[in-house]
Homo-oligomer: A and B are copies of this chain.
């Protein structure tokens, strides 16, 4: 598309294009974080806070953030973070509502995130907190904070410390609530 698009007008993306051509330096790894106006908690902030606490932040890797209206808008935004902004992984955060139609919309949003991953061959971590996971706003808020942070950390591990995932294989690891732990065979 030759038309100028507002959200790509930041200076970084222009520099990127330049660096791709000249290949003068190895660019920082970029982690994308995309969240929504619809959610009732600033999930993107939680994810960015966690990433800012990871080793190499600002040095080995950087974070590119976007906000879209609702969770159905996450997929194409995540795809563009990968294709146009050069992100190696994306954390996509949203809050499906509690009505039946919201469940269907969440399904469509999730299918979109799945498809975006497969079309880009790049992981997009879906971080959905369903509004009805708890009636208590405090508990729900803690689920928002915890799950957003845990999946941001997972994204970091997937890029830089995959052995952290390998050693937890089959261990019933959870995000948002306590780990379920492994079953025992004998």
Contact = CB atoms under 8 A, between A and B. Distances in A.
Interface of A: 1-7, 20, 23, 26-30, 35-45, 65-69, 72-73, 75-77, 79-80, 83-84, 86, 88, 101, 103-112, 114-119, 121-126, 130, 137-138, 140-142, 144-145, 151, 154, 158-162, 165-166, 168-175, 180-186
B45 A169 contact: yes
B41 A183 contact: yes
Contact of A169 (B27, B35, B125, B168): B35
Contact of A68 (B130, B142, B165): B165
Given A5-B29, A76-B118, A83-B121, 15 more contacts: A2-B26, A2-B27, A36-B170, A37-B169, A37-B171, A37-B173, A40-B172, A40-B182, A67-B162, A68-B158, A101-B103, A107-B107, A107-B108, A108-B114, A137-B183
Contacts of A45: 169-170
A117 B2 CA distance: 17
Contacts of A121: 76, 79-80, 83-84
15 contacts: A1-B88, A4-B29, A37-B171, A39-B172, A44-B169, A65-B166, A67-B166, A69-B151, A72-B110, A75-B117, A76-B121, A79-B121, A112-B118, A118-B119, A142-B185
